[in-house]
């Protein structure tokens, strides 16, 4: 990489070296190329956005990062090492947490239980000590609960802690899903359209939470978003995709003035 040195942003956050790098990723479904030869990197502590029109391959890209899709070509480098082919749960255990475009929560479980599942990676006590609520298990559970309560507090969902998730409105479900992903204390947090289907107020709330999470915990965030205004406000750097190809990469200002990006979003006259 060209820019490996840490630097400090205008608002005082430190952006570290590259934590994840996608190298020449190509993903095909049958004969269709969902992603064609895309490379980009994610640096520690930054908010990295992936944008593009519908069907550009943004979600596919996120699914490649989180291990749900296996690309036919290309390499994923994580923390300086090439990542072997992995199952999604193994990727999660490595510290990459995610949310889903269509929300994937445990509907029958309470908000608290949902968020606690995010801590599974941090629980190692034996079955017997867990069942007897003794020693390591007790200490662990208390510690994990502390982290979870802090996150619940942070995302302002204390009032619904004991409510089964199935009963919650859409906007709150999105927030609970974010809480669960955060509970894992991830190295990278992947957000698939965190503001999709929200009204203006909810969008503002969610934007604030994303910024606060990044600011407070220093979490590296990669997010997909449709709303250009939101993306430009939130992110440090932006990757632009169209028809599975990368057409732009840089700071929001650079991307905004990129002719290929303008064409993709506004359409271009073919003569």
In the complex, the smallest distance separating the C-beta of residue 70 from other proteins, rounded to whole angstroms, is: 14
Residue nearer to other proteins on the CB measure, 167 or 208: 167
In the complex, the smallest distance separating the C-beta of residue 127 from other proteins, rounded to whole angstroms, is: 6
Q: How far apart are CA 247 and CA 240, in angstroms?
A: 6
Among the residues of the chain, which ranges form H helices? 58-65, 88-93, 111-117, 127-132, 135-154, 170-183, 200-217, 228-234, 252-256, 259-266
Interacting span for other proteins (CB under 8 A) from 24-32, 52-60, 121-129, 147-155: 121-129
Q: Does 108 bind other proteins (CB under 8 A)?
A: yes
Contacts of 161 (CB under 8 A, 6+ apart): 110, 111, 112, 152
Residue nearer to other proteins on the CB measure, 92 or 213: 92
Q: Does 187 bind other proteins (CB under 8 A)?
A: no
Residue 92: other Cβ atoms inside 10 A = 20
Q: Does 131 bind other proteins (CB under 8 A)?
A: yes
Neighbour-count burial for 34-46, b at 16+ CB within 10 Å, e otherwise: bbbebebbbbbbb
Phi, psi (5° rounding) for residue 161? -50, -45
Interacting span for other proteins (CB under 8 A) from 3-11, 22-30, 177-185, 201-209: 177-185
User: Distance between alpha carbon 159 and the CA centroid of its chain, in Å?
Assistant: 25
In the complex, the smallest distance separating the C-beta of residue 132 from other proteins, rounded to whole angstroms, is: 9
Q: Does 159 bind other proteins (CB under 8 A)?
A: no
Kindly tell me the burial class for residue 193, based on how many C-beta atoms sit within 10 Å of its own C-beta (0-12, 13-18, 19 or more): buried
Contacts of 57 (CB under 8 A, 6+ apart): 27, 34, 35, 38, 241, 243, 244
Q: Does 163 bind other proteins (CB under 8 A)?
A: no
Q: Does 217 bind other proteins (CB under 8 A)?
A: no
In the complex, the smallest distance separating the C-beta of residue 112 from other proteins, rounded to whole angstroms, is: 11
Q: Which of 80, 133, 263, 268 binds other proteins (CB under 8 A)?
A: 133
Q: Does 135 bind other proteins (CB under 8 A)?
A: no
Structure tokens at 2: 């060209």
In the complex, the smallest distance separating the C-beta of residue 19 from other proteins, rounded to whole angstroms, is: 18
Q: Which of 71, 118, 244, 248 binds other proteins (CB under 8 A)?
A: 118
The answer to whether the beta carbons of residues 106 and 165 sit under 8 Å apart is yes
User: Distance between alpha carbon 228 and the CA centroid of its chain, in Å?
Assistant: 17
Of residues 68 through 97, those in contact with other proteins by CB under 8 A are 68, 87-90, 92-93, 97
Q: Does 180 bind other proteins (CB under 8 A)?
A: yes
In the complex, the smallest distance separating the C-beta of residue 92 from other proteins, rounded to whole angstroms, is: 3
Q: Point out which residues bind other proteins (CB under 8 A).
A: 66, 68, 87-90, 92-93, 97-98, 100, 104-109, 113, 116-118, 120-121, 123, 125, 127, 130-131, 133, 180-181, 184
């Amino acid at each position: 990489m060209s820019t490996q040195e840490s630097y400090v942003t205008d608002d005082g956050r430190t952006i570290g070296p590259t934590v994840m790098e996608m190298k020449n990723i190509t993903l095909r479904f049958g004969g269709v190329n969902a992603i064609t030869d895309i490379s980009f990197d994610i640096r520690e502590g930054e908010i990295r956005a992936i944008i593009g029109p519908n069907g550009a391959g943004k979600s596919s890209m996120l699914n490649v990062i989180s291990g749900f899709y296996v690309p036919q070509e290309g390499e994923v480098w994580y923390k300086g090492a090439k990542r072997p082919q992995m199952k999604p749960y193994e990727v999660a255990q490595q510290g990459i947490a995610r949310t889903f475009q269509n929300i994937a929560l445990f509907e029958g479980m309470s908000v608290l239980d949902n968020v606690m599942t995010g801590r599974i990676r941090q629980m190692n006590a034996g079955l017997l000590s867990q069942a007897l609520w003794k020693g390591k298990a007790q200490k662990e559970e208390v510690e994990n609960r502390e982290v979870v309560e802090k996150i619940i507090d942070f995302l302002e969902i204390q009032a619904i802690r004991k409510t089964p998730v199935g009963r919650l409105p859409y906007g709150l479900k999105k927030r609970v899903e974010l809480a669960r992903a955060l509970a894992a204390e991830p190295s990278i947090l992947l957000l698939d359209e965190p503001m999709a289907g929200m009204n203006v107020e909810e969008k503002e709330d969610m934007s604030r939470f994303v910024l606060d999470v990044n600011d407070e915990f220093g979490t590296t965030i990669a997010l997909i978003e449709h709303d250009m205004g939101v993306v430009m406000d939130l992110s440090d750097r932006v990757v632009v995709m169209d028809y599975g190809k990368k057409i732009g990469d840089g700071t929001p200002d650079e991307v905004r003035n990129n002719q290929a990006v303008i064409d993709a979003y506004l359409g271009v006259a073919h003569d």
